[in-house]
Amino acid sequence: MKKLVINSALLLVAVLGLHGCFKSTVGYTYFNLAVYDQMESEDQFKPSTDIDTYAFWVDTTDWYIASWEDAVSRRITNKTTGEVLADPASIGEFNSSDRYQSSLFVNKPISMLVVVNNALQRYAYRKYELPENLSEVFAKLYMAAWRPTHTSSGWTVVNPFYTTTQPDDEGSEDNPVTE
């Protein structure tokens, strides 16, 4: 009888152990993003109210956004061939009342995530590698209207309208210079 109880216990442990080996893996992520705006360098950051997010299943090594118009139109361009893609694989859901205003569904190993901030006329993009078994990611992006194009926490934030003023040859007038 004692041997039967021990064998039964060992069998139960073995079955439970095998069950642990067959856990399902998650092959997708909901990329939840909170975007904050800052108009002037001394202003506080405030939650964005007018953003668009989308993703393409491409690598930023080979693809880029050619212009503000392309960012707004959800178009990207291949750096080598000039090929244009205009149909994002995933489009984010926006809810301005949520703490994380946008959520993108991502299910490919590598993707290009894009955020268009219509209020600031800025856009940001990044390469994103799908994590294993992480069904949700929460991230923040800070966009400043007064800053030139820069990188921030893996994002390239593009300010296509950034200008500085520099005096002309006589130093009597300010001329905008686009960088």
**Rounded to two decimals, what is the model's pTM?**
0.78
| Helix, strand, coil content of the chain in percent (nearest 5) | 15, 40, 45
Cα end-to-end span (Å), the chain: 85
Q: How do residues 8-35 score in pLDDT, each as one tens digit?
A: 555 555 555 544 555 578 889 999 999 9
Radius of gyration for the alpha carbons in the chain, expressed in angstroms and rounded? 24
Q: How do residues 135-153 score in pLDDT, each as one tens digit?
A: 999 999 999 999 999 998 8
pLDDT of residue 81: 98
pLDDT of residue 170: 45
Bridge pairing between strands 163-167 and 174-178: antiparallel
Domain 29-178 fold is Immunoglobulin-like (2.60.40)
Write down the number of H helices and E strands in the chain.
2, 16
Amino acid type, 112: M
Q: How do residues 47-101 score in pLDDT, each as one tens digit?
A: 999 999 999 999 999 999 999 999 999 999 999 999 999 999 999 999 888 899 9
